[in-house]
Structure 1
């Protein structure tokens, strides 16, 4: 075909196009569908933006082009869609000259790619559209948009469009942001897609959250603000607590606000099976990624999880047959004195301390922690020991238990990890309360290790690390191979394999599944405990715990991965539709 100028290409005679009604041409690397309709010539990209069906095979009626695969509809003149899940189709300029049809094979673009995909991400979140979210995440990455920008948009949406505030979706998003750099590049996109689709699902059908304003006065003493905040949480006054917290964010430094939140999250025992403290910690970790200037709305979204939380001292398990809540409260009443006694001392964890935490004597456990505080143990030292004990419960979880009991040991583990991460941020005696709550729950979980599954000990292997990882991948394809997963991970570590390779492989295995809230949490908590561990045994336990938990919950239908794969293929320009498939 002859080129008449630098922009337009002759593609057909007007008579031919009028007779056929439509035709398909390929110019400039673009497949372009041309239509003669109502006396006008229109040109659109032939690939339906939803899933790639050839639009030249669609139907045109009253100016509306309808795709035959999923019935997405487009205004033929401008390409705008009637259906938000489909996206607009690109259009091309057309000219008719002396009975000849010319097309400029550069699509009209109303916005740069980054702007377009930001808009589509917002639509995907608002409409809870997985495919749109997946395309937007991949499109933004292809456009060079920093992952923090994507995270920021998810956090803004999740904190504003859910009246119930911070919940599992935002926690998943934070966890995925925390592990993203430890994953392969494609899995980093999967991680953001996973977090964002859970945020969208969390907010679907929920009313938005309307903010309470801070007090006009900002010169209130930080200690008084903390007292007001804790009192409002105590009496379950959500509005009052929010006003105080927003005032504190505006008037106090970050350290003071974090201490206020951690105090409120430990004023009562093990709130909402540990979720409340974990939510607080994850919200604060999110601000490490997106910046403290987002603290106002982000932290305010935590208020319902604090004011509405179930308090474990109200549960029979914490009162009978042993008054566990009473034991903890007796020690918390003297925390300041205990911390003062140990202020000038340096504590080294005794060899038998971990066995004590895993014992079946709650009085001895609580007394052991009390004595350690008086001997100079810091909140971080004790939180690390409790988190390692909680990881051991998961690593030794007996598969003869009911499947739902995995949740029980999981809650303790993720709670203990959250307390541990908090102690690495602030050195505050109030966090001893979180340590005590975690230790008591490790005790309550003791029967789930009866009999305990063995944690594979150090040994020698002649197998190559990559071969072990391949076996691990294959093992995850079969249900119930829990103990084998633990053995493979231990064998990988014994083979001298790089833990970074193991993390990447475990992350990929997780993100290809339809993993739920707890499974996604488990991986992130296990990675953090592995990173924080100071000896090979604790590192081994952390990774064995992760692998066994994943194996217990795999495989799934992998529907989310199918959606991500479709989005990837579409953005690479690959064909998703196969001939005959639309009619099946």
Structure 2
């Protein structure tokens, strides 16, 4: 085979090609489909860009090449597709000399890989195309594009094209970003794919959002802006609230100030929308930590509708009967469920004190006396407990509820304990940004919900204590067993036991995180399961930081509880059909140039 000095490679005899109409040739390792059509010679990559079907087996008519597998159509001269789900096919320059056909197998690319996959990501989001999303997220990371860039594009898309604002898709994206550094390299691609595809699905067929502008002036005192925002949310005035929030961002209010504004409105009524309103808000702020504060205007404005339309727990019977839990809180808050003056007085009294958690605080939080719970928390504030310190304690109690969930309960009740856990995590994470007195209300609300969940621990599932399962086995084998447990239905308690055994046998927690992350991302995990793992990782990290102030045994138990909790939760929801994993695997193989079609 001759190579012309211009870089063209001789690949076929012209007369033979004219007779056959098509030929499959190879040039410098590239499989190329040659077509003689309407007096012209065209050359395209033989692999259909959709799923790799050999295009030389396709049909050519009226200038259109049609793949026979999924009927993707391509304009033959330039390779552009008629079908957005298929991607464009690579074409090659052709030359004819002395009765021979030459092809340039390495022409200049129209776009570098990073730009190509960024364009395809936009199409995947707009058309809600899973395979396109998978190929583009994998392609971007393979092109060494930081995950923050496609995440930012997805946040922008998700806030623009969903009229009802921030929802599960963007929350999942935030969760995946939070755990991405805990995962193996390939699972990082799965995590990004998972977040992006859920945003695409969440926005599919939804009307777009039309922004309300900020006020023309930014010369408004923060306290007044905060009051306006809360008043608008209270009367469910989304438009007014959005203008207030956008004005806070435009006025360059600090991260802490904007967080205070949002937290205040999100806790004026307890446990809005089973905790989702505050959890969504937390994930919006956490997402901005990944993509940058310059996205804050639209990202935070998307929280307004979920806040203004949220269901209010103080209007539900479970918070009013047989014990009026709202009245218990009002007595501490200052006479009204949205008040803070009582909390301000307690916090002022403890401002010069250093608080240490009482030995019996966890048993009180997990007990069946709501008045004792409220009193214990109020006393803690009076003794100097910060929102961050109290939120850490309530988060530990909420994790225990999941870890001890009794499988005799209805399956849907897993979500009940889960919601409390993720709400408590949101309160704790907000405490990193603001020490606003309103955050204490989130702590009290989470603790009341831990109380309301008490019957779901009746009887409590046993939590393996440190040293209880020290079998001496290799931690790697235990991790393999844990993954196999997720392949079987109903192995809830065994999953928890294996996590306890892993810790007892000296396993590396980072390896356990990678194992749990892989077990999660290979499944068609739903919104709550994805949330649960992220919250568990956060709770584990918090417990790991307590080593200096807690006994070794107490820290060990505090660390293992959230990991046992999420392993049990995952085992209850696995296995699934793994459809998303099938799509991811196909996309990865296509991007590597592997054969998908068996007849190729």
Q: TM-score, normalised by structure 2?
A: 0.96
Unaligned 5+ segments in structure 1 are none
User: Is this contact kept in 1: 2:12–2:25, CA < 8 A?
Assistant: no
> Once the 2 structures are TM-superposed, how far is the Cα of residue 428 of structure 1 from its aligned partner?
1.8
User: Is this contact kept in 2: 1:90–1:108, CA < 8 A?
Assistant: no
Q: Secondary structure at the match of 2:529?
A: helix
Which one of the candidate residues 433, 446, 459 is aligned to 1:451? 459
User: Is this contact kept in 2: 1:92–1:108, CA < 8 A?
Assistant: no
Partner of 2:67: 67
1:336 aligns with 2:344: yes
> Once the 2 structures are TM-superposed, how far is the Cα of residue 109 of structure 1 from its aligned partner?
2.2
The within-5 A match list for 1:305-454 is 305-333=306-334, 334-454=342-462
1:532 aligns with 2:552: no
User: Is this contact kept in 1: 2:466–2:500, CA < 8 A?
Assistant: yes
Q: Secondary structure at the match of 1:190?
A: helix
Cα distance in structure 2, aligned partners of 1:529 and 1:493: 16
Partner of 2:499: 489
Cα distance in structure 1, aligned partners of 2:432 and 2:360: 24
Cα distance in structure 1, aligned partners of 2:437 and 2:109: 58
Deviations 1:129-160 (A, max 9, x none): 00000000111111111111011111011011
Query: Cα RMSD (Å) of the superposition?
Result: 0.9
Cα distance in structure 1, aligned partners of 2:256 and 2:494: 44
The within-5 A match list for 1:57-456 is 57-107=57-107, 109-251=109-251, 252-333=253-334, 334-456=342-464
Cα distance in structure 2, aligned partners of 1:144 and 1:349: 46
1:567 aligns with 2:587: yes
User: Is this contact kept in 2: 1:90–1:107, CA < 8 A?
Assistant: no
Q: Secondary structure at the match of 1:60?
A: strand
Of 259-268 and 9-18, deviating more is 9-18
Of 102-111 and 12-21, deviating more is 102-111
> Once the 2 structures are TM-superposed, how far is the Cα of residue 325 of structure 1 from its aligned partner?
1.4
Q: Secondary structure at the match of 2:150?
A: helix
User: Is this contact kept in 2: 1:14–1:100, CA < 8 A?
Assistant: yes
Cα distance in structure 1, aligned partners of 2:591 and 2:71: 20
Q: Secondary structure at the match of 1:489?
A: helix
> Once the 2 structures are TM-superposed, how far is the Cα of residue 107 of structure 1 from its aligned partner?
4.1
User: Is this contact kept in 1: 2:11–2:26, CA < 8 A?
Assistant: no
**What is the count of residue pairs matched by the alignment?**
580
User: Is this contact kept in 2: 1:93–1:108, CA < 8 A?
Assistant: no
Cα distance in structure 2, aligned partners of 1:519 and 1:254: 29
Partner of 1:576: 596
Cα distance in structure 2, aligned partners of 1:543 and 1:428: 30
Unaligned 5+ segments in structure 2 are 335-341, 547-554
> Once the 2 structures are TM-superposed, how far is the Cα of residue 487 of structure 1 from its aligned partner?
0.3
> Once the 2 structures are TM-superposed, how far is the Cα of residue 120 of structure 1 from its aligned partner?
0.1
Cα distance in structure 2, aligned partners of 1:174 and 1:120: 21
Of 366-375 and 311-320, deviating more is 366-375
> Once the 2 structures are TM-superposed, how far is the Cα of residue 6 of structure 1 from its aligned partner?
3.8
1:474 aligns with 2:484: yes
Deviations 1:442-477 (A, max 9, x none): 000000000000001112221011010011111110
> Once the 2 structures are TM-superposed, how far is the Cα of residue 108 of structure 1 from its aligned partner?
5.0
Cα distance in structure 2, aligned partners of 1:463 and 1:423: 40
Partner of 1:549: 569
Of 380-389 and 324-333, deviating more is 324-333
Cα distance in structure 2, aligned partners of 1:161 and 1:552: 34
Partner of 2:550: none
Cα distance in structure 1, aligned partners of 2:378 and 2:12: 87
> Once the 2 structures are TM-superposed, how far is the Cα of residue 253 of structure 1 from its aligned partner?
2.0
Which one of the candidate residues 503, 514, 518 is aligned to 1:508? 518
1:25 aligns with 2:45: no
Of 270-279 and 427-436, deviating more is 427-436
Q: TM-score, normalised by structure 1?
A: 0.98
Cα distance in structure 2, aligned partners of 1:482 and 1:3: 64
Partner of 2:338: none
Of 529-538 and 50-59, deviating more is 529-538
